[in-house]
Structure 1
Amino acid sequence: MFMNNGSGLLNPRSIAEMRLIVGGGLIPYYDPNGIASSSVIPPPSFGLSWIWQTLSDGRRYIGHSGSLPGARHSMLVNEKNTIGVIVLSNGDSNVPRDRSAQYYKILENIHLALFQCFEAESTK
């Protein structure tokens, strides 16, 4: 497990290695749509197949995303490692820049709403 310091498949040392930011945070982010460069949010940092992202709520999340023709997905875990959110969607990964920016904003809003919901539940 990736969350809660691992159990079952991965040991805590493996989890720590995966989460470690490589390249001193200096690996440039390639964004074919130019979305990250037009934002005030810092660009993501990279671990071993994982991306650290700061969303519009100012919090850092670690996750992974990808797409195939007709499908997109994104998985993020909060910095405390207590809540993970996976969003799977049917969508074209080859859309114009303005529609792609809209998609990423919608995806971020879904993630933030779910994190807020589950964080509120976990504090009860």
Structure 2
Amino acid sequence: MSKSKAPLILGLGAAGGVGYYLYNAGGNAKAAENKFESDVHKASANIKANLPGSAPNAQKDGAHYGAKAGAKVDEVISEADKQAGRAKSNAEAYAKDAKAEALKAVDKFDSKVENEAAKAKSGISSWFGGSK
């Protein structure tokens, strides 16, 4: 079976890196270590500077966009409340009109029943000798 060559490649890369820093430092291990740490810090700062949200005004910009989004949400909620109020008002007016129409129909029915009852009463009274 074949073995993975990754450890060999990583080991050669690390040895090459150590050799590079030692050669540039003139064989001084402490100077090579300081140069390596300096390069690591520069690379780290470069990466952090390119991350999203790391700009100097990122917090202000985020607060600004958050405030805009909050205002938009408030506006939408306000509009929804207005529309709900209009719908409630329209429903109440419709219910009031429907109630008035129903009461008119009941009154008309009562009137008709009373008239018919009066006619029936006079008809029955005439059977027993009453006057019209």
Coarse TM-score class (shorter-chain normalised): under 0.3
If each structure's helix is expressed as a fraction of its own residues, which one has the higher value?
A: 2
TM-score in terms of structure 1 length: 0.23
Higher RCO (Cα < 8 Å, 6 or more apart): 1
Larger-Rg structure = 2
TM-score in terms of structure 2 length: 0.22
